[in-house]
């Protein structure tokens, strides 16, 4: 039915919008019809029809765009760049307010306040060379340390205070010296310095023999004295003398059964060296004890085996008188004891055979080479009662006085030699031959094993 007091037919609104349904009626189409309508009494019926169409459109589309250009309805635009407390499904360009470092955000809820507070810097405190005008709130920070820029050697400054440019006026370019190349060759800017391989110098990777390791060499070997060899180094620009110390010069080469021959293993491991030629004793008789001494005794022997000794065996007659003994093996120089090769301690705790298996130094011996067996008690309490070879039946080892009293009865002097001074109750690293003297002590009977 028509609007009250209105014509049944609209010459403008319905004519312009005919054949357009409400679902597809755009705001631009509706605005094009509405904005040309003058507000006059004659147009009252058209304006009522215009409102009716818009109400109908709103009911179908569920929105309200307004009638005229820039017209606002009852809602805000959805694409504005709002700052919100949380994302909203209708808005398309909003930002959520978030608290950063040193900031707290307290949301009081709808109709209340969103409070932003500073939780980081609560006050300004002046440090070395810095002053602040106020501890809180707006504050001016001032540099009170560096008050001016002063140019040093090779440096210039454009201004003593304020903004200043610091310029290097010293090194302006690099110049290549001997065996040095620069890239770029001008020596200006970022320059790579390369050391050329010098000519006329020996290579550092050759297999040199040296007296010690050198950090600049990569393939050197250190010349080291082995068994029976001694070095005498007089220092830089001097001489290095190498001499043999391991043999007595007799050339004696005992021929003994092969250790790996047909003998049972139990019979071929222990060699009774103190009973073997040429310095051994062929008599089975023995003394009841050795003569105790605070100075070392020495008796030579020839090694029957090439290899490392694993055990030295001695025999104890009595454990009633029990000082600890140090026994060892020395190299030979000119028939006399020279440098200590190895030593160990015998603790007399029981009678019978005692085996020394722990050594200081490696007892590596060479077959046919002369060495010296040495012994000394470690303290002055007790004598030590070892089974010993009889000095009366041992070959003489050392010279005797040229005024020897009676050659018809030569006694047992010279069976061993001893250090008369210089090494109480210990075996020295090297023997001072000027302190050696012949003695008649019975040499300890001992055996060696090479396992």
Supply angle C-alpha 152, 157, 163, rounded to 5.
135
Q: Which fold has domain 265-403+410-449?
A: Jelly Rolls (2.60.120)
Structure tokens at 382: 């007790």
- Specify the pairing of strand 221-222 against strand 209-210: parallel
Mark residue 343 as left, alpha or beta (left: phi above 0; alpha: psi -120 to 50; beta: remaining).
beta
Percent over 90 (pLDDT), the chain:
16
252 burial class (0-12, 13-18, 19+ CB within 10 angstroms)? middle
Residues 6+ away with beta carbon under 8 Å from 47: 37, 39
User: Is-contact 298 328, C-beta < 8 A?
Assistant: no
Q: Each residue of 387-419: pLDDT tens digit? A: 888 888 888 887 777 776 777 777 677 788 888
Q: Which two tokens stand for residue 240?
A: 């290095």
At residue 336, does pLDDT exceed 60?
Answer: yes
Q: What is the per-residue pLDDT across 73-87, written as a single tens digit (0 to 9) for each?
A: 455 788 888 888 888
Q: Residue 181's pLDDT band (boundaries 50, 70, 90)?
A: confident
Per-residue pLDDT tens over the stretch 420-431? 877 788 999 999
Evaluate if residue 252 carries a pLDDT over 90: no
Query: Please, what is the average pLDDT of the chain?
Result: 80
Q: Give the Cα separation of 386 and 341 in Å (integer).
A: 23
Q: Which of 72-86, 90-104, 120-134 has the lowest mean pLDDT?
A: 72-86
CA dist., res. 53 & res. 47, Å (int) = 10
Q: Is 277 exposed, middle or buried (0-12, 13-18, 19+ CB in 10 A)?
A: exposed
C-alpha triplet 210, 213, 218: angle, nearest 5°: 90
**112 vs 7, higher pLDDT:** 112
Phi then psi for residue 309, to 5 deg, are -65, 130
- The reply to whether the predicted model has a pTM over 0.75 is no
Distance of alpha carbon 334 from alpha carbon 4, whole angstroms: 151
Mean pLDDT throughout 56-73? Answer: 58
Mutual angle of helices 44-61 and 27-34, in 10-degree steps: 170
Q: How far apart are CA 226 and CA 219, in angstroms?
A: 21
122: number of Cβ within 10 Å: 9
| Exposure of 1 in the CB half-sphere (CA atoms within 13 A) | 2
Average pLDDT over residues 300-304: 92
* Residue ranges per structural domain of the chain: 1-98, 209-244, 265-403+410-449
> Which H, E and C letters describe the chain, residue by residue?
CCCCCCCCCCCCHHHHHCCCCHHHCCHHHHHHHHCCCCCCHHHHHHHHHHHHHHHHHHHHHCCCCCCCCCCCCCCCCCCCCCEECCCCCCCCCCEECCCCCCEEEEECCCCCCEEEEECCCCCCCCCCCEEECCCCCCCCEEECCCCCCCCCCCEEECCCCCCCCEEECCCCCCCCCCCEEEECCCCCCCCEEEECCCCCCCCCCCCCEECCCCCCCCCCEECCCCCCEEEEECCCCCCEEEEECCCCCCCCCCCCCCCCCCCCHHHCCEECHHHCCCCCCCCCCEECCCCCCCCCEEEEEECCCCEECCEEEEEEEECCCCCCEEEEEEEEECCEEEEEEEEEEECCCCCEEEEECCCECCCEECCCCEEEEEEEECCCCCCCEECEECHHHCCCCCCCCCCCCCCCCCCCCCCEEEECCCCCCCCCCECCHHHEEEECCCCECCEEECC
Question: CB of 324 within 8 A of CB of 345?
Answer: yes
């Amino acid at each position: 039915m028509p609007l009250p007091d209105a014509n049944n037919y609209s010459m403008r609104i319905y004519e312009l919008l005919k054949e357009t349904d409400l679902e597809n009626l755009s705001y631009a189409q509706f605005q094009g019809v509405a904005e040309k309508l003058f507000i006059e009494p004659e147009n009252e019926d058209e304006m009522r029809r215009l409102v009716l169409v818009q109400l109908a459109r709103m009911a179908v589309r569920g929105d309200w765009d307004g009638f005229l250009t820039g017209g606002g309805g009852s809602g805000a635009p959805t694409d504005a760049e709002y700052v919100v407390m949380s994302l909203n499904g209708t808005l398309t360009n909003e930002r959520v307010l978030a608290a950063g470092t040193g900031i707290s955000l307290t949301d009081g809820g709808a109709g209340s306040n969103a409070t932003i507070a500073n939780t980081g810097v609560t006050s300004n405190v002046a440090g070395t060379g810095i002053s602040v005008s106020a501890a809180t709130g707006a504050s001016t920070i001032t540099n009170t340390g560096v008050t001016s820029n002063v140019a040093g050697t090779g440096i210039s400054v454009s201004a003593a205070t304020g903004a200043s440019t610091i310029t290097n006026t010293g090194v302006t370019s690099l110049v290549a010296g001997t065996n040095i190349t620069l890239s770029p060759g001008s020596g200006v800017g970022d320059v790579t310095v390369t050391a050329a391989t010098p000519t006329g110098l020996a290579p550092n990777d050759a297999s040199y023999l040296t007296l010690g390791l050198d950090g600049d060499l990569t393939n050197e070997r250190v010349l080291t004295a082995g068994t029976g060899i001694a070095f005498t180094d007089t220092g830089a620009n001097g001489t290095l003398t190498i001499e043999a110390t391991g043999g007595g010069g007799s050339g004696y080469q005992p021929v003994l059964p092969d250790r790996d021959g047909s003998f049972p293993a139990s019979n071929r491991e222990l060699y009774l060296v103190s009973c073997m030629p040429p310095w051994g004793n062929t008599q089975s008789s023995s003394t009841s004890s050795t003569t105790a001494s605070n100075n070392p005794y020495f008796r030579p022997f020839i090694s029957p085996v090439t290899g490392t000794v694993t055990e030295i065996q001695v025999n104890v007659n009595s454990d009633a008188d029990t000082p600890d003994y140090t026994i060892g093996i020395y190299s030979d120089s000119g028939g006399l004891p020279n440098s200590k090769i190895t030593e160990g301690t015998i603790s007399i705790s029981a009678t019978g055979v005692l085996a020394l298996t722990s050594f200081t130094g490696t007892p590596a011996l060479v077959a046919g080479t002369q060495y010296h067996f040495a012994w000394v008690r470690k303290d002055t309490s007790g004598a030590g009662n070892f089974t010993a070879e009889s000095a009366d039946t041992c070959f003489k080892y050392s010279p005797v006085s040229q005024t020897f009293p009676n050659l018809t009865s030569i006694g047992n002097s010279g069976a061993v030699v001893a250090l008369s001074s210089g090494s109480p109750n210990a075996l020295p690293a090297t023997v001072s031959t000027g302190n050696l003297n012949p003695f008649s002590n019975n040499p300890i009977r001992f055996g060696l094993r090479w396992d």
